[in-house]
């Protein structure tokens, strides 16, 4: 075993040594290391940490030229037909795709690596505009950087989950870049204050969506009105399915209202509260039903939903308070805590069921929770009554014991008196 480990270690070290020798024989790198500080746009910044460098690729793999053209700038670059000095964005995309769209080539670096990025890019708004001759769009290096490209799962990468919103905002928040696109430039500002943005950027929760989770990566496109629910439904599955089966689906499409976004916004998604349903507190429904009177179907439905939710919440609060009181008094309440957990689950399910916009369905979902609350309240009152009974019993028992003790004391004292 030790001998095997020794040979594996020797092999590993030899591979590192070979890579170092190859790099040391690369005229491009050796020259640019020396002159980099004098260039207006240094090219060696972070190069040693670049994923391509780590895999043994060098300048000539992208830029062409002769990496053995020592001490002869023309031989290394300008006299070589393969050399590419200034790449257009079209050249750049095709150059990256030369490797990244080749499954055979890429498989030597990772068996599961994707090779459809280039094909997806041409279907994106960025790729479509580039093919139309509009150069003011994102290309590979716009997102991934140039010579300091890190793996996507490296926190230093510009496309790491936590960094993606800022990377996208470099273009999408720039009024000059976006002026001819017809798109606003406040998406990043909206996202930062949204429930998704706070979870991702402030709480560092990489499970929360960033730009690419909704718009795609290389095939980035804005979802149209009829498909926004498909995007949101990737995470919010039950909400999507309930809304798709509701009477409002067709109404939203007819009015050109984006599903999900119509009530919850897009980039500035607020943390949803039950007050969304409260007609007396500017319910979100009023946006479309501002002229509805108190007896309208929309108002009755919203008020009914709100009342059901409030009844569940108040019932849970009351039962929880009583059970906590009983537990602090030393009573066993674990069986009734289970009922309370069931009520909590029902509250969550009822909030989701609102998206069916069907009062009967919402009542059906909420009913088990109300029964669980009733069981918790009954149980809590029972154990509290038991506690009161025990307290009274203890008081009576204490009186009896005290009385017996007093009688015994008197009896003993009488026995000790001399005749």
**210 and 227, same domain (yes or no):** no
**411 and 379, same domain (yes or no):** yes
End position of a domain, from candidates 253, 271, 289: 271
Task: Count Cα atoms within 13 angstroms, Cβ side, for 120.
Answer: 14
**372 and 395, same domain (yes or no):** yes
Domain total of the chain = 4
End position of a domain, from candidates 64, 86, 108: 86
**214 and 245, same domain (yes or no):** no
Residue 14's pLDDT is 43
Residue 307 lies in a domain: yes
For residue 397, pLDDT beyond 60: yes
For residue 412, pLDDT beyond 90: no
Residue 181 lies in a domain: yes
| Average of per-residue pLDDT across 123-140 | 94
Residue 286 lies in a domain: no
| Average of per-residue pLDDT across 9-24 | 46
Residue 110 lies in a domain: yes
**Cβ–Cβ under 8 Å, residues 257 and 225:** yes
Q: Which of 291, 265, 263, 267 is nearest to 277 (CA)?
A: 263
Give the integer Cα–Cα distance in Å for 281 and 270.
16
**103 and 213, same domain (yes or no):** yes
For residue 389, pLDDT beyond 60: yes
DSSP 8-state class, residue 64: -
**144 and 245, same domain (yes or no):** no
Q: Which of 262, 240, 183 is nearest to 215 (CA)?
A: 183
**Cβ–Cβ under 8 Å, residues 41 and 146:** no
Residue 415's pLDDT is 75
Residue 271's pLDDT is 93
Residue 280 lies in a domain: no
Residue 357 lies in a domain: yes
**403 and 327, same domain (yes or no):** yes
Rounded to 5°, the CA angle 388-394-397 comes to 140
Task: Give the percent of the chain with pLDDT over 70.
Answer: 91
End position of a domain, from candidates 189, 222, 255: 222
Distances (CA, A) of 212 to 145, 222, 327: 17, 11, 48
Q: Using 50, 70 and 90 to split pLDDT, how confident is the model at 293?
A: confident
Q: Is 343 exposed, middle or buried (0-12, 13-18, 19+ CB in 10 A)?
A: buried
Residue 44's pLDDT is 78
Q: What is the pLDDT of residues 233-268, one digit of tens each?
A: 999 999 999 999 999 999 998 888 888 998 999 999
Residue 347's pLDDT is 97
| Average of per-residue pLDDT across 121-125 | 94
Q: What is the pLDDT of residues 196-221, one digit of tens each?
A: 999 999 999 999 999 999 999 999 88
Of residues 60 and 22, more confidence is placed in: 60
pTM, two decimals, is: 0.79
Q: Using 50, 70 and 90 to split pLDDT, how confident is the model at 12?
A: very low
For residue 10, pLDDT beyond 50: no
Six-digit token string for 397:
């028992």
Rounded to 5°, the CA angle 351-352-356 comes to 110
**Cβ–Cβ under 8 Å, residues 75 and 66:** yes
**176 and 105, same domain (yes or no):** yes
Q: Using 50, 70 and 90 to split pLDDT, how confident is the model at 37?
A: confident
For residue 16, pLDDT beyond 50: no
**4 and 120, same domain (yes or no):** no
Other CB atoms within a 10 A radius of the CB of residue 23 amount to: 15
Q: Using 50, 70 and 90 to split pLDDT, how confident is the model at 39?
A: confident
For residue 11, pLDDT beyond 60: no
Of residues 334 and 364, more confidence is placed in: 364
Structural domain including 244 reads 223-271
For residue 401, pLDDT beyond 60: yes
Q: What is the pLDDT of residues 156-212, one digit of tens each?
A: 999 999 999 999 999 999 999 999 888 999 999 999 999 999 999 999 999 999 999
Q: Using 50, 70 and 90 to split pLDDT, how confident is the model at 63?
A: confident
Of residues 114 and 69, more confidence is placed in: 114
Residue 285 lies in a domain: no
For residue 23, pLDDT beyond 60: no
**153 and 218, same domain (yes or no):** yes
Residue 323 lies in a domain: yes
Task: Count Cα atoms within 13 angstroms, Cβ side, for 132.
Answer: 10
Rg (CA), the chain: 35
Six-digit token string for 119:
């094909």
Q: What is the mean pLDDT of the chain?
A: 87
Q: Is 380 exposed, middle or buried (0-12, 13-18, 19+ CB in 10 A)?
A: buried
**82 and 104, same domain (yes or no):** no
**99 and 204, same domain (yes or no):** yes
């Amino acid at each position: 075993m030790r001998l095997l480990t020794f040979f594996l270690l020797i092999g590993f070290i030899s591979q590192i040594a070979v890579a170092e020798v190859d790099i040391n024989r690369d005229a491009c790198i050796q020259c640019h290391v020396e002159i980099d500080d004098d260039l207006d746009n240094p090219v060696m910044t972070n190069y040693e940490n670049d994923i391509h460098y780590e895999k043994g690729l060098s300048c000539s793999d992208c830029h062409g030229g002769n990496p053995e053209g020592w001490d002869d700038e023309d031989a290394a670059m300008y006299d070589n037909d393969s050399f590419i000095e200034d790449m257009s964005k079209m050249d750049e995309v095709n150059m990256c795709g030369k490797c990244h769209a080749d499954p055979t080539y890429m498989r030597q670096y990772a068996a599961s690596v994707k090779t459809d990025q280039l094909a997806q890019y041409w279907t994106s708004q960025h790729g479509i505009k580039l093919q139309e001759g509009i150069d003011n769009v994102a290309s590979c290096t716009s997102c991934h950087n140039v010579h300091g490209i890190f793996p996507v799962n490296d926190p230093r990468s510009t496309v790491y989950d936590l960094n993606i919103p800022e990377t996208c905002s470099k273009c999408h928040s720039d009024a000059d870049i976006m002026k001819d696109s017809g798109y606003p430039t406040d998406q990043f500002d909206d996202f930062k204050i949204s429930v998704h943005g706070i979870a991702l950027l402030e709480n560092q929760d990489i499970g929360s969506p960033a730009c690419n989770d909704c718009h795609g990566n290389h095939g980035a496109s804005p979802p149209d009105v009829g498909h926004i629910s498909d995007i949101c439904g990737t995470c919010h599955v039950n909400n999507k399915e309930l809304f798709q089966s509701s009477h409002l689906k067709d109404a939203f499409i007819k009015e050109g209202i984006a599903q999900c976004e119509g009530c919850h916004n897009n980039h500035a998604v607020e943390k949803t509260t039950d007050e969304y349903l409260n007609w007396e507190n500017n319910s979100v429904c009023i946006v479309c039903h501002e002229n509805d009177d108190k007896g309208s179907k929309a108002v009755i439905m919203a008020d009914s939903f709100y009342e059901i939710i409030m009844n569940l919440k108040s019932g849970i609060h009351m039962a929880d308070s009583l059970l906590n009181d009983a537990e602090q008094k030393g009573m066993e309440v674990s069986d009734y805590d289970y009922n309370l957990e069931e009520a909590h689950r029902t509250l969550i399910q009822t909030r989701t069921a609102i998206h069916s916009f069907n009062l009967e369905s919402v009542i059906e979902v909420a009913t088990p929770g109300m029964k669980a609350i009733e069981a918790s309240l009954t149980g809590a009152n029972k154990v509290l009554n038991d506690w009161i009974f025990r307290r009274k019993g203890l008081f009576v028992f204490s009186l009896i014991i005290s009385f017996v003790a007093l009688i015994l004391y008197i009896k003993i004292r009488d026995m000790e008196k001399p005749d």
